[in-house]
Protein backbone atom coordinates (compact mmCIF):
# COMPACT_ATOMS: atom_id res chain seq x y z
CA UNK A 1 0.00 0.00 0.00
CA UNK A 2 1.31 3.42 -0.87
CA UNK A 3 0.51 6.03 1.77
CA UNK A 4 -2.90 5.50 3.26
CA UNK A 5 -3.79 9.16 3.61
CA UNK A 6 -7.06 8.39 5.34
CA UNK A 7 -5.02 7.24 8.34
CA UNK A 8 -2.71 10.13 9.13
CA UNK A 9 0.06 9.06 11.50
CA UNK A 10 1.69 10.81 14.39
CA UNK A 11 5.45 10.54 13.93
CA UNK A 12 7.74 10.75 16.92
CA UNK A 13 11.51 11.14 17.17
CA UNK A 14 13.84 11.47 20.13
CA UNK A 15 12.92 15.15 20.61
CA UNK A 16 9.94 15.84 18.32
CA UNK A 17 6.34 14.89 17.72
CA UNK A 18 4.89 15.45 14.26
CA UNK A 19 1.09 15.63 14.51
CA UNK A 20 -1.19 15.86 11.47
CA UNK A 21 -1.90 19.52 10.84
CA UNK A 22 -5.19 20.88 12.20
CA UNK A 23 -7.01 24.19 11.81
CA UNK A 24 -5.88 25.13 15.32
CA UNK A 25 -2.23 25.07 14.17
CA UNK A 26 -2.74 28.25 12.12
CA UNK A 27 -2.22 30.38 15.24
CA UNK A 28 1.24 28.84 15.81
CA UNK A 29 2.16 29.01 12.11
CA UNK A 30 1.37 32.71 11.64
CA UNK A 31 4.45 34.03 13.53
CA UNK A 32 6.66 31.62 11.58
CA UNK A 33 5.32 32.91 8.26
CA UNK A 34 5.55 36.51 9.44
CA UNK A 35 9.34 36.18 9.88
CA UNK A 36 11.12 37.54 6.77
CA UNK A 37 14.22 35.48 7.58
CA UNK A 38 12.21 32.26 7.59
CA UNK A 39 10.47 33.20 4.33
CA UNK A 40 13.67 34.30 2.57
CA UNK A 41 13.82 30.94 0.76
CA UNK A 42 10.13 30.13 0.64
CA UNK A 43 7.70 30.36 -2.26
CA UNK A 44 5.11 32.58 -0.62
CA UNK A 45 4.82 36.25 0.25
CA UNK A 46 4.96 37.26 3.90
CA UNK A 47 1.35 37.31 5.14
CA UNK A 48 0.24 40.21 7.31
CA UNK A 49 -3.16 38.77 8.15
CA UNK A 50 -3.72 35.72 10.39
CA UNK A 51 -6.85 34.92 8.35
CA UNK A 52 -4.69 34.36 5.26
CA UNK A 53 -2.60 31.80 7.16
CA UNK A 54 -5.78 30.19 8.48
CA UNK A 55 -6.97 29.85 4.87
CA UNK A 56 -3.71 28.20 3.83
CA UNK A 57 -3.92 25.78 6.75
CA UNK A 58 -7.56 25.06 5.89
CA UNK A 59 -6.48 24.19 2.32
CA UNK A 60 -3.77 21.86 3.67
CA UNK A 61 -6.27 20.11 5.95
CA UNK A 62 -8.66 19.70 2.99
CA UNK A 63 -5.81 18.29 0.86
CA UNK A 64 -5.11 15.74 3.59
CA UNK A 65 -8.78 14.77 3.84
CA UNK A 66 -8.90 14.33 0.06
CA UNK A 67 -5.79 12.13 0.10
CA UNK A 68 -3.62 14.56 -1.87
CA UNK A 69 -0.99 15.42 0.75
CA UNK A 70 0.24 15.01 4.31
CA UNK A 71 1.08 17.98 6.51
CA UNK A 72 2.46 17.86 10.02
CA UNK A 73 2.93 20.41 12.80
CA UNK A 74 6.23 19.79 14.58
CA UNK A 75 6.49 20.26 18.34
CA UNK A 76 9.19 19.56 20.88
CA UNK A 77 8.43 16.64 23.15
CA UNK A 78 10.00 18.39 26.13
CA UNK A 79 7.60 21.33 26.26
CA UNK A 80 5.16 21.03 23.35
CA UNK A 81 6.54 24.19 21.71
CA UNK A 82 5.75 24.55 18.01
CA UNK A 83 8.97 24.50 15.95
CA UNK A 84 7.81 24.15 12.36
CA UNK A 85 5.91 22.30 9.65
CA UNK A 86 6.64 19.33 7.43
CA UNK A 87 4.82 17.99 4.39
CA UNK A 88 4.66 15.27 1.78
CA UNK A 89 3.04 16.61 -1.38
CA UNK A 90 2.89 15.91 -5.11
CA UNK A 91 2.24 12.26 -4.28
CA UNK A 92 2.39 10.06 -7.37
CA UNK A 93 1.21 6.57 -6.40
CA UNK A 94 1.85 5.06 -9.83
CA UNK A 95 5.51 6.04 -9.83
CA UNK A 96 5.81 5.74 -6.03
CA UNK A 97 7.28 9.20 -5.53
CA UNK A 98 6.50 12.41 -3.67
CA UNK A 99 7.98 15.73 -2.70
CA UNK A 100 8.96 16.65 0.86
CA UNK A 101 9.08 20.12 2.37
CA UNK A 102 10.07 21.59 5.70
CA UNK A 103 9.82 24.98 7.39
CA UNK A 104 11.43 25.70 10.76
CA UNK A 105 11.33 28.73 13.01
CA UNK A 106 14.46 30.82 13.32
CA UNK A 107 14.73 30.00 17.04
CA UNK A 108 15.52 26.36 16.13
CA UNK A 109 18.71 27.19 14.25
CA UNK A 110 21.51 24.81 15.19
CA UNK A 111 19.17 22.28 16.84
CA UNK A 112 19.12 19.84 13.86
CA UNK A 113 15.34 19.47 14.15
CA UNK A 114 15.07 19.44 10.37
CA UNK A 115 17.47 16.53 10.09
CA UNK A 116 15.66 14.64 12.86
CA UNK A 117 12.20 15.20 11.40
CA UNK A 118 13.33 14.39 7.87
CA UNK A 119 14.74 11.03 9.03
CA UNK A 120 11.37 10.11 10.53
CA UNK A 121 9.47 11.16 7.40
CA UNK A 122 11.89 9.29 5.10
CA UNK A 123 11.42 6.11 7.18
CA UNK A 124 7.65 6.57 7.10
CA UNK A 125 7.63 7.14 3.33
CA UNK A 126 9.79 4.07 2.66
CA UNK A 127 7.69 1.87 4.96
CA UNK A 128 4.58 2.98 3.08
CA UNK A 129 5.71 2.16 -0.42
CA UNK A 130 7.33 5.32 -1.73
CA UNK A 131 10.57 4.70 -3.61
CA UNK A 132 11.67 8.24 -4.42
CA UNK A 133 11.49 11.57 -2.62
CA UNK A 134 12.29 14.93 -4.12
CA UNK A 135 12.91 18.28 -2.48
CA UNK A 136 13.45 21.77 -3.86
CA UNK A 137 15.61 24.55 -2.48
CA UNK A 138 16.06 28.13 -3.58
CA UNK A 139 19.54 29.09 -4.64
CA UNK A 140 21.39 30.28 -1.57
CA UNK A 141 19.45 28.12 0.92
CA UNK A 142 22.65 26.42 2.01
CA UNK A 143 21.29 25.14 5.35
CA UNK A 144 18.46 23.32 3.58
CA UNK A 145 20.84 21.86 1.01
CA UNK A 146 23.17 20.70 3.79
CA UNK A 147 20.34 18.82 5.54
CA UNK A 148 19.34 17.13 2.30
CA UNK A 149 22.92 16.14 1.51
CA UNK A 150 23.43 14.68 5.01
CA UNK A 151 20.40 12.47 4.38
CA UNK A 152 21.72 11.19 1.05
CA UNK A 153 19.71 13.40 -1.30
CA UNK A 154 21.60 14.17 -4.49
CA UNK A 155 21.25 17.26 -6.62
CA UNK A 156 19.39 16.29 -9.78
CA UNK A 157 19.16 19.58 -11.56
CA UNK A 158 18.51 23.27 -11.69
CA UNK A 159 15.03 24.56 -12.43
CA UNK A 160 15.81 27.86 -14.11
CA UNK A 161 13.37 30.69 -13.42
CA UNK A 162 11.07 28.27 -11.58
CA UNK A 163 9.79 30.77 -9.00
CA UNK A 164 8.44 34.28 -9.48
CA UNK A 165 9.39 36.24 -6.37
CA UNK A 166 9.19 40.01 -5.96
CA UNK A 167 8.68 40.38 -9.70
CA UNK A 168 11.76 38.42 -10.73
CA UNK A 169 12.34 34.83 -11.81
CA UNK A 170 14.43 32.76 -9.40
CA UNK A 171 16.21 29.46 -9.84
CA UNK A 172 15.53 26.40 -7.73
CA UNK A 173 17.66 23.31 -7.14
CA UNK A 174 16.03 19.91 -7.32
CA UNK A 175 17.25 17.10 -5.06
CA UNK A 176 16.24 13.45 -5.08
CA UNK A 177 16.58 10.41 -2.84
CA UNK A 178 15.92 6.84 -3.93
CA UNK A 179 14.47 4.76 -1.09
Is residue 108 included in any domain, yes or no? yes
Residue 65 to residues 7, 30, 61, 68, 135, Cα–Cα distance (Å)? 10, 22, 6, 8, 23
Is residue 6 included in any domain, yes or no? no
Q: Can you give the CATH number for the domain in which 139 is found?
A: 3.40.630.30
**Binned average pLDDT, 10 residues per bin, the chain of 179 residues:** 67 96 92 75 72 90 90 96 94 96 84 94 95 93 91 96 86 96
Residue 78 confidence (pLDDT) = 96
Distance CA 18, CA 117 (A): 8
Is residue 129 included in any domain, yes or no? yes
Residue 53 confidence (pLDDT) = 85
Domain ranges, residue 110: 11-178
Is residue 34 included in any domain, yes or no? yes
**Sheet of 97-104, strand order:** 11-12, 16-20, 70-76, 82-92, 97-104, 132-138, 168-178, 154-165
Count of the separate structural domains present in the chain = 1
Distance CA 117, CA 97 (A): 19
Is residue 2 included in any domain, yes or no? no
**Residue 11 C-alpha from the chain's centroid:** 14
Residue 39 confidence (pLDDT) = 67
Residue 108 confidence (pLDDT) = 80
Report phi then psi at 106, rounded to 5. -60, -35
Amino acid sequence: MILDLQRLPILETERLRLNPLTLEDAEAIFPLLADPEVLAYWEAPEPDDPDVVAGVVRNHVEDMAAGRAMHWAMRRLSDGAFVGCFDITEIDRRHRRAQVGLMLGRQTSGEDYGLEAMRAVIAFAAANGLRKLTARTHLGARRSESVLEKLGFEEEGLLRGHILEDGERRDVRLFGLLL
